[in-house]
Amino acid sequence: MTPTQLAPRFFIAVAVILIFCKAVAWLLGRVGQPAVVSEMLAGVLLGPSLLGLVLPEVKDALFPAALLPVLYVVGQVGLVLFMFQAGYAFSAHRVTGLVGTAGLVSLAGVTAPLVLGVALVLVTADAVPMRADGTSIGVSAAFVGVALAITAFPMLARIITERGHAGTRHGTLSLASGALDDMVAWIMLAVVLAFASGRAGPAVVTAGGAVLFALLLWLFGRRVTTALMTSPGLNDAARVLGTVALLFLVAWYTDEIGLYAVFGAFAVGVVMPRTDNTDRVVDTLTPVAATVFLPLFFTYSGLRTEFGLLGSPPVLLFAVACVTAAIVGKFGACWAAARFRGESQGVALRVGALMNARGLMQLIALNVGLEAGIVNASLFTVLVLVALVTTMMTTPLLSWIERREARRGDDVRPRTLATVK
């Protein structure tokens, strides 16, 4: 399709996605689910799993294959701008005293699901058709382990923001743990892809590029952003332009080294100075990006998911086992690590519930694996189911924890860092 042909398809597709997301959000909102869940679920319903099954001609007309890369790229804009805002909000809260706890929670939340995922694939290798053609059992097992180890960092940030938990001890601890968790998981994913391709280059580039990025951020990040926000020769329009240029430059770099654009955007937000000028820039960039552009990315992967593949009993049993391993490995391990570090039961349970959500980042990893040829359609669908289940259970779990504390007579108000030593 030519750009002239794609443009009208893009406009109608975006209109359908946004309206459908709003409708699903209204329905799920009645049972306490945040909008982020509906945006992910809407893509699944608009894809071959429902619309393609009931009205395949309509699905193909609305979302031709040539349109998917356009939806992906435009969705990236919303994702980058949203994560910039999340990083800026994160920087407002001190994490002193949480570094050790966040490190242990992240370590547990990566190791346990990684081991369980690898073991699950090795045990079921001869019974379930989960391997892509030409892919070794070791690569498949490692990929599933890494996919289960990922935390949906952007979703986690959005759920924390929407529920008003930004600045609480469990919210800040979850953000810190989730950021470290996903950085480690993406480096491991690069290693898996390197083994799959027979080349060590991608893993070396990711690890070395991450170290270089951290060094540049530490040496120059605060200086550059402070100059941008406080220079008397710049007006608000120039600051917005400069911020977007910086964001996209950093997003380009982190994408190129294999860490993904969200980490670059989040890092820029963290090093931004807290000034009135910065507040105005963030308030200008965030609303349209989060409302219009971001849902396009959440629906992108759903358009490539076929739940009809779960009709095979072996695949369905594997899916159930995968969901169980994901929950035990992430929720259970993060809860145990937080308790080991002396966190209260309420904080530990909330951290486990938040870290258990995998939605967006797992979907990104699945698409990377699919494009690399190491994930087949069945495994893609199974892991999308894991992402949906673990993300949809986050809000009910948080609500259950609050009701549990209310019944016990505990203080159920979110505990901020200032109120906890």
pLDDT tens, position by position, 23-80: 988 888 888 777 777 777 888 888 888 888 888 899 889 998 899 889 888 988 888 8
Range from 12-16, 324-328, 406-410 carrying the lowest mean pLDDT: 406-410
Q: Residue 226: pLDDT above 90?
A: yes
Of the candidates 362, 347, 373, the residue with the CA atom closest to the CA atom of residue 171: 347
pLDDT of residue 168: 80
Percent of the chain with pLDDT over 70: 94
**Alpha-carbon distance 292 to 77, whole Å?**
10
Q: Regarding predicted confidence, which is higher, 416 or 103?
A: 103
Is residue 421 very low, low, confident or very high in pLDDT (cuts 50, 70, 90)? very low
Average pLDDT over residues 384-390: 90
pLDDT of residue 262: 78
pLDDT of residue 97: 64
Q: Residue 100: pLDDT above 90?
A: no
Evaluate whether 148 touches 386 at the Cβ level (below 8 Å): yes
pLDDT of residue 418: 45
pLDDT of residue 99: 78
Q: Residue 411: pLDDT above 70?
A: no
Q: Residue 416: pLDDT above 60?
A: no
Of all residues in the chain, what percent are helix, strand and coil, respectively (each to 5)?
80, 0, 20
Is residue 116 very low, low, confident or very high in pLDDT (cuts 50, 70, 90)? very high
- Residue 287 CB partners (closer than 8 Å, separation 6+): none
Beta strands in 53-199 (DSSP E): none
Q: Residue 420: pLDDT above 50?
A: no
Range from 69-83, 117-131, 153-167 carrying the lowest mean pLDDT: 153-167
For the chain, the average pLDDT equals: 85
Average pLDDT over residues 189-198: 77
Percent of the chain with pLDDT over 90: 32
Enter the pTM of the model.
0.80
Average pLDDT over residues 177-196: 80
Q: Residue 6: pLDDT above 50?
A: yes
Measured between alpha carbons, how far is residue 336 from residues 109, 185, 282, 323, 348 in Å?
Answer: 10, 20, 36, 19, 7
Is residue 22 very low, low, confident or very high in pLDDT (cuts 50, 70, 90)? confident
pLDDT tens, position by position, 258-316: 777 878 888 899 899 999 999 999 999 988 887 888 788 777 777 778 888 888 888 89
82's tokens: 């949203």
